Amino acid sequence: MERILQKVAKCRWSRLAASRRPLSTSNFFITTPIFYVNASPHIGHLYTSLVADAAQRFQRLLTKNVSFLSTGTDEHGSKVEKAAGKMDTQQYCDKISSQYVEMLSMYSVDYSTFVRTTSLEHKKAVHAFWKRLNDRNFIYTGEYSGWYCEADEAFVPESRTEKLADGSRVSAESGRQVDWTCEENFLFRMSAVQSDFSHWLKDPSAVQPSKFHSLVQLWVQEGFHDVSITRPSHRVPWGIPVPENPQHSIYVWMDALVNYLTVAGFPDNLQNWPADVHVVGKDILRFHAILWPSLLIAAGLEPPRQIQCHSHWKVDGEKMSKSRGNVIDPRGQIGSTLTHEGLRYFLLREGTNHSDANFSQVKAMNILNAELAGKLGNLLNRCTGKSLNPRQIWPAFVEAAVEAQEVAPLIAALQELPAKAKQHYAAFNFYKAVDEVILVLQVANKFFEDQKPWTLARDSAEIQSILSLTFETLRVVGIVLQPVIPKLTARLLDRISVPLEKRFWGDLEQFLWDGVKTEQPLKSEKLTLFPRLGDGK
């Protein structure tokens, strides 16, 4: 035992801690969880993907560097095998996996790689990871007994179970049934990494938002116990066998977590490690914030820089579930009703990290009509309408032509927007960034109404300056909203002739009034940015 502990001590992760960097600015590497193929995609899965996609798009705007977004499907375990029913399990996995690919492309999730846990490349990474842990003495065999929750594919400590009136037991967290199980398993010596783990967790940015960081700290106080990392293969045949010991299948969560290394080229060509951000939903926080960093520390690899946790979507106030029949597949009707960019906007505009959000089609339609068709689309129509802008130009801005005190609120709002939005995006608070944009649009629409340009002489310097400032608002807002609605903003920025190379965050440092702005033609033909959706009552 002593010898083992010495060996374990040698590979302490704290030696690596010195090299820990803040979130990287080049090659930003962000991941989504990989999706279970036991069911088709729903809006919760889409949301998790949109959070990661919007974050990487923001990083690209900021740094102009490439980013790396990984996603994929989690295809092993008894749940998947059961879901396949009579169908060949691999064919079933192929079918559902392709549904996720379809959803991601429909909603412009710009992923760099899509990993599948049934791929050879991934199996190779899992085996290499296993061997590494084994070589470092972090794996041993033993009898493992405890409450196993098949639906969650996890052992649950008794303290986190509840006994029901009928004598059965459920997991307190998920409410799903647990059964007493006693098996010969391989165990991971997680208890040996607790102090290195605590060192990693000390940094509040390791788990965000802070509410979830505190929760993980509480979990850690329960103490680290060794955990089972295999199941007998006769119980879970649809899994990756333990190297040289095929009577055991590697625990699905260990298999799944290693996907983040597979996509980074482990074991032969590991690059860009650690990941900057793992985006996860609150239901899988424990696996990502405790088990995964522990496994990495044991393997002598750096834990992720950040775990970004979000809350869940309910539908009309209820948890989404097959039995309630309220599961919304983003590939279905809802995408045609709200449009794909519309649903993307709504999810990022309403979803928050800290509390559950509620999906309602009526609410979504009302918000989209009010904000995208109303505030944003309306402003574009106002300054591109033929009667006020017959020559279809972005006119020059003549400062002296407009009353300083009348433009002051709009100019101040525009000047403040980039810094505010940047802070919210960086904290994954997309809804707050959108809030700021909407406030600016309100100021701009009010400015336009107050100025009453339709009462002024055509081609006067005054009217030109009002239009010019309105276009400037659209430019700023268009750049800021790119992470949330990439396609709509591309159309908007095309329409008002903002060149592709001028759509970065740095382009928000210089405003219209900071330099000489000459008249410019508008590029494309008339555009209805976001058509009003059918009656949203």
Kindly list the residues in this chain that would bind ligand MSP in the complex (CB under 6 A).
33-36, 44-45, 47-48, 74, 256-257, 259, 280-281, 283-284, 312-313, 320
> What minimum distance in Å lies between the beta carbon of 107 and ligand MSP?
14
CB of 204 to ligand MSP, least distance (A): 21
User: In terms of CB distance, is 231 or 420 closer to ligand MSP?
Assistant: 231
33/335 with CB nearer ligand MSP = 33
CB of 73 to ligand MSP, least distance (A): 8
Residue number with CB closer to ligand MSP (34 or 93): 34
Helices (H), 136-209: 194-202
Question: In angstroms, how far apart are the furthest CA atoms of the chain?
Answer: 90
Element (H, E) at 445: helix 430-451
- Find the shortest distance in angstroms from Cβ 386 to ligand MSP: 45
Residue 510 DSSP one-character state: S
What is the DSSP track for 406-427?
HHHHHHHHHHHHHHHHHHHHHT
Other CB atoms within a 10 A radius of the CB of residue 382 amount to 20
d(CA 483, CA 307): 20
**Residues pairing with 319 in the sheet:** 314
- Closer Cβ to ligand MSP, 302 or 472, answer by number: 302
Q: Whose Cβ is closer to ligand MSP: residue 44's or residue 293's? A: 44
Q: Which is nearer to ligand MSP, 297 or 492 (CB)?
A: 297
Enumerate residues 6+ apart whose C-beta is below 8 A from 246.
Answer: 233
Nearest to 19 by CA among 292, 274, 294, 277: 274
State in angstroms the smallest separation of the CB of 327 from ligand MSP.
9
C-beta of residue 437 within 8 angstroms of C-beta of residue 355 = no
- How many residues are given for the chain? 537
Q: What is the CA 183 to chain-centroid distance, rounded?
A: 37
Q: Evaluate whether 472 touches 511 at the Cβ level (below 8 Å).
A: yes
Picking from 271, 348, 331, 283, the residue whose alpha carbon sits closest to that of residue 309 is 283
Q: Report, in Å, the least distance between residue 166 CB and ligand MSP.
A: 28
| Distance linking the first and last C-alpha atoms of the chain | 69
**Peptide bond between residue 157 and the one before it cis (omega within 30 degrees of 0):** no
DSSP single-letter state for residue 516: -
Q: Least distance in Å: CB of 48 to ligand MSP?
A: 4
Closest CB to ligand MSP among residues 284, 461: 284
Give the nearest residue (CB) to ligand MSP: 281
Shortest Å distance, C-beta 532 to ligand MSP: 28
When the beta carbons of 139 and 256 are compared against ligand MSP, the nearer one is 256
> What is the residue whose two structure tokens read 């591309």?
490
Closest CB 334 distance from ligand MSP, rounded Å: 14
**Which structure tokens are listed for 264?**
């980074």
